[in-house]
Amino acid sequence: MSSSLVFIDSSTSTASHLLPFSRITIPFNGAVSLRRSVGPLNVRPFVLSPLRTLSVNSSNNPSPVINDKSGGEASATVIDGKMVANQIKDEITAEVLKMKEAIGVVPGLAVILVGDRKDSATYVRNKKKACEAVGINSFEVSLPEDSNEQEVIKFISEFNNDPSVHGILVQLPLPSHMDEQNVLNAVDIEKDVDGFHPLNIGRLAMRGRDPLFVPCTPKGCIELLHRYAVEIKGKRAVVIGRSNIVGMPAALLLQREDATVSIVHSRTKNPEEIIKHADIIISAVGQPNMVRGSWLKPGAVVIDVGINPVEDAKSPRGYKLVGDVCYEEACKVASAVTPVPGGVGPMTIAMLLSNTLSSAKRTHNFQ
């Protein structure tokens, strides 16, 4: 039976070798490994519990527990994006301090906000707070809704030429009278920490080429898979959605990890039949509870990028946030799943900070 679906490109503004910090890997098989890219990582010892369940003890974070569902009844592992994002922020804080003490340079991130959308203003505030928390300098420009394109590009040009700014982010969406591509293309590729520059996306798509930056949300999705030791090589992966911001770069990243990748989109016939064969699913379409538990292969790993408000009379706000995947149903079938909220969302800002740190290190040739 054919399913009729409406897809909305996710508007969230993300490969393992591109990350500038060490990585704790939380395996499903009860083994622990530590991959190190730059500098030491100080953590308390890992504690392995019996029955193939792994607990990770950290000084600052709660302990995730992995179940392999070998008994057939265990619920899915919750992939805790908030915990992982906090770990990453701690690692970035240490690297920023190390850089400051060694060469006197502090990474800087500039954010340009156009208009008075409350959601965009909230995102910008959160990014500013995140910068402050890890020791990154933040610069902000707020322009009125009726600003013209050239005014925005003027500020971009100033930040392009400012050596204290290592990353530039233009908060999307822009007002409808502006050409988004013209504005984004004005950002120097060396400071394109959102990873949206055509040359960065082109390099991401080519074998043997590395982009300077990877878009933050897809990068966060892949990092969650790595931190939870989800095997990607040789696996079947399905990306639901083909937006330039999430779906398309997520598919390219999975391909770089040697997965066999399919993309499900608004013109795909019988999408559930394709999704049923997936070992890994990344969904970013903006449709609440679209993916049902019956669509999932038992033991699949689900990364849910969607953040969708739905009516909820029990909530003081009158609504609650849900993902693209029906979480309650997925937990009964999948081996691991990200919650909404608390899954991919916190990772996006963490990856933005990571990209900004990488930019500063590259600019000053600091290892």
Q: How far is CA 282 from the centre of its chain?
A: 11
Question: Do strands 319-322 and 308-311 pair parallel, antiparallel, or not at all (unpaired)?
Answer: antiparallel
Catalytic residue ranges: 127, 171, 194
Alpha helices by DSSP H, listed for 161-215, are 180-185, 198-205
Task: In the chain, count H helices and then E strands.
Answer: 10, 16
CA gap 361, 367 in Å, rounded: 7
Q: How many CA atoms does the CB half-sphere of 10 hold within 13 Å? A: 34
C-alpha pair distances (Å), 304 with each of 4, 49, 154, 280, 320:
20, 28, 37, 11, 16
Q: Whose structure tokens read 């009726």?
A: 146
- Peptide bond before residue 211 is cis, with ω within 30 degrees of 0: no
CA gap 22, 20 in Å, rounded: 7
